[in-house]
Amino acid sequence: MAEAIVVKPDLDFVKGVIAAGGSSLKKCYQCATCTVVCKVTPDKNPFPRKEMVWAQWGLKEKFQGNPDIWLCHQCSDCTAYCPRGANPAEVLGAIRKQTIKQYSAPAALVDIVNNKAMMPLVLLAPAVLLAVLLSIAGTFGIPDGEVIFSKFASTLFLQIVFTPALIFGAVVGVLGVKNFWGDMKTANNVSSGDLKGSIIKTAKEVAGHEKFKTCDVSADRYTSHLLVFYGFVAAAIATAIGVLYIDVLHMDSPFSLGYGTPVKIFGNIGAIGIIVGIGMMMSNRFKKAEQLGGVGSYFDWLLIAIIGIVGLSGFLAQLLRIAGVAPIAYPMYFIHLVFVFSLFIYLPFSKLAHMFYRGAAMCFNKYSGREAVADADNSIVVTGPEDASEEDTKPDPEEPTVPADEVGSGEEKQ
């Protein structure tokens, strides 16, 4: 056996996870039913049992460069089968939030964004900032005549304000991923691998929403997440076309090209995708509250709210514009701008940070060889010969309804 390691329990870390929504953390008694039923965990060193005990013991260094908490898609199969109500899915979500703090600088922003008490500040700050900037630009107010949103916020304004916001979010996220990647390599003793292949494989997986398909309890999340995901893709395409019109074709908004143009088609498809997807997510959470051990944390709901409002306000602003109701149309458009802005600047601090870290973790899992890169069927996991001696190996997942697999004798608690 390897040399003994000194563990340094950190009570504050435990309290932090509990405060972040992992209030059931301490209930876990390590039966490992969660690990047995989990369909996305690799066979080698599977999760989430070990993450549960590490968090109980406040071993925060164990989460430094830990890809596993991000491999979890929080489908909540584990929670549905947990005999003790320890809700591993929610706990892992809370741990993820704790680790976002490690990589998304400044860490204080993570705390502020995800603190319920700070909600007014988090929502009002971008609104005030935009209002001030619009006032400086001299367009803050309800313009006369036909409703044309560029009268309220010019395309130049949007480019000057929103592009840096998006760049800020993306840069923080990318820097975070860089550190995370380095930590993962150190923590897992991995020095090299097939980066390109891993990225392609991961991209395919994400595009196909492969992991979501494996879930039982949250099977319908496949559709809702897919809708939101491709809603954003469509919206991004619409934006790109807009940029093309303005910066390449030098047209100015409104593009008097009618509703059959690609920019409108993509924009509307995107909006509908986001609205329907978010609506499904919300209703699923309530429908399955019992199995999921609750409807989710503030961390979850903040993102649901921001994305939902982005989609809804954008779509409503369009309808109001067509209807020509200026006194409501402009404020609605303002709301839309505020939430798009929030989405951009909070990108690496809110739950949306998962697009960086989960992507990186999924990629690392292939890069490190824990999951095959070349294999067409990504459900097959290659375990090298050196893994044979690993004691922490996932039991046979064929019978997920038998929770006692890893429990010792029935009469004894572990």
Tokens standing for residue 318 = 């369009």
Stretch of 54-62, 182-190, 244-252, 321-329 lying at the interface with another protein (CB under 8 A)? 54-62
Verify binding: residue 141, another protein, rule CB under 8 A.
no
Give the nearest distance from C-beta 25 to another protein in angstroms: 8
- Closer residue to another protein in complex, CB, 8/178: 8
Verify binding: residue 18, another protein, rule CB under 8 A.
yes
Q: Mapping DSSP to helix (H, G, I), strand (E, B) and coil, where does residue 44 land? A: strand
Which run of H or E residues covers position 164? helix 155-187
Binding another protein (rule: CB under 8 A), the pick from 47, 54, 232, 346 is: 54
Stretch of 51-59, 88-96, 372-380, 393-401 lying at the interface with another protein (CB under 8 A)? 51-59
Q: How many alpha carbons fall within 13 Å on the CB side of residue 2?
A: 5
Residues of this chain, 340-399, that bind another protein according to CB under 8 A? 391-392
Q: Measured on CA atoms in the order 81, 400, 386, 360, is the torsion positive or negative?
A: negative
Verify binding: residue 187, another protein, rule CB under 8 A.
no
Give the nearest distance from C-beta 388 to another protein in angstroms: 17
Give the integer Cα–Cα distance in Å for 382 and 385: 10
Give the nearest distance from C-beta 297 to another protein in angstroms: 17
The region that residue 131 occupies, defined by phi over 0 for left and psi between -120 and 50 for alpha, beta otherwise, is alpha
Give the integer Cα–Cα distance in Å for 333 and 339: 10
- Closer residue to another protein in complex, CB, 57/168: 57
Give the nearest distance from C-beta 51 to another protein in angstroms: 11
Tokens standing for residue 123 = 């929502």
Report residue 44: phi and psi, to 5°: -85, 130
DSSP secondary structure code for residue 20 in this structure? T
Verify binding: residue 57, another protein, rule CB under 8 A.
yes
Rounded-to-10 torsion of CA 265, 271, 276, 280: 140
Stretch of 5-13, 89-97, 138-146, 293-301 lying at the interface with another protein (CB under 8 A)? 5-13
Binding another protein (rule: CB under 8 A), the pick from 36, 59, 69, 361 is: 59
- Closer residue to another protein in complex, CB, 314/403: 403
- Burial pattern 157-183, b for ≥16 Cβ within 10 A else e, equals bbeebbeebbeebeebbeebbeebbeb
Number of residues lying near another protein (CB under 8 A):
32
Give the nearest distance from C-beta 95 to another protein in angstroms: 14
Verify binding: residue 178, another protein, rule CB under 8 A.
no
Verify binding: residue 204, another protein, rule CB under 8 A.
no
Spatial neighbors of 333 by CB under 8 A, at least 6 apart, are: 149, 152, 153, 313, 317, 321
Tokens standing for residue 126 = 């971008």
Sites of contact with another protein (CB under 8 A) = 1-9, 11, 14-15, 18, 26-27, 29-30, 49-50, 53-54, 56-59, 391-392, 408-409, 412-414
